[in-house]
Amino acid sequence: MRKSIRVLVLLAGVLFTAVACIELIPDIDSPPIVDSGSGDWYEIYFTNPTCPDEEERTGGLDEIIAADMLAAELQVDMAAFDFDAPPMVDALIELEERGVVVRVVTDTDNVDLSSINRLRRNGISVVEDKRSALMHNKFIIIDGRYTWLGSMNFTTNGAYCNNNNLVRIDSPQLAANYRAEMSEMYDDREFGPSSPAATPYENLTIGGVRVENYFASETKVAPIIGRLVEQAQSDIKFLAFSFTHEDIGEPMIERALEGVDVRGVFETTGSQTEFSYYGDMLSERLPNLQVRQDGNPRIMHHKVIIIDGRTTIFGSFNFSGNANDSNDENVLIVHDPTFASYFLAEFEAVWNEAKQ
């Protein structure tokens, strides 16, 4: 069996096999929940995209997530732009049979997948966005406490062929944010810019760490990221599947002109179009502004910016106009050097594999 995960960080002990301590799912309208400052609260995963044959695709993030979902006692919510990973499909069907509440939202472009049809045949209601813009989220909420989020689509290619990140976070407050977004899509059929900007806790503290959480395009996220880029003092590193938005690209070039070290890897597909910042950054010819195209023959799918080795920006949000203005997206910003160190290690791995 080929190793399918590049980096596995277990900061909360072993993968949870039970959640018996959870008695109810916190109501999103309840008073703020104070997360304990003690104990660890996240697990960070990166794929190792060797892209083995279908029959050899085992031991990956799809199986880890499926096992975590199967520990649910009350409810699992999933927002999946694309979804075909068999272990996760099987897990949702088993949960439905056990009486656990299962809610799924997907993008209209992928609603006819055999995996989605299989969910529906087994009694699981799947809501689609019915728009030309994308429902581009990739998140899962388990029992109103654990949230999975990041860049990885819940597919076999996402888990075994593409460079991706996923983070599992233990925080009822953060889960309440994602449950609110899920309810807007699943219950109210509100997506993208027409969705209400009603995140309960955009700014929160988890385990003593400051965290920001935003949902596009009801909230314009690109200017928020741009302002953080403008504050960079020493260095900026980024991994970008798509990078075309001037609110992020222009401040990054400006900081490089003012002496901040900037390094980034672009997904090769689309990086040489007139809209990509790859060409703009190359043309500056600054020694402290270095960009490369990725070395994965499939897809480098990260959407990550790390600022000054302490602020990590990640999620489903590509650095593009569509993500900012029309798609349904999510982004998390974590202000902590230890958290950032794992993304920095992934950056260096992708950088070293990239085309020079």
Which sequence positions are flagged as catalytic?
136, 138, 143
Dihedral sign (CA 273, 274, 279, 283): positive
Residue 8 CA to residue 166 CA, distance in Å, equals 10
The burial of 252, by beta-carbon neighbours within 10 Å (0-12 exposed, 13-18 middle, 19 or more buried), is given as buried
Residue 312 CA to residue 61 CA, distance in Å, equals 21
Residue 250 CA to residue 261 CA, distance in Å, equals 15
Q: Provide the token pair at 186.
A: 């699943």
The burial of 38, by beta-carbon neighbours within 10 Å (0-12 exposed, 13-18 middle, 19 or more buried), is given as exposed
Angle at 287 between CA 282 and CA 290, to 5 degrees: 45
DSSP letter at 307 equals E
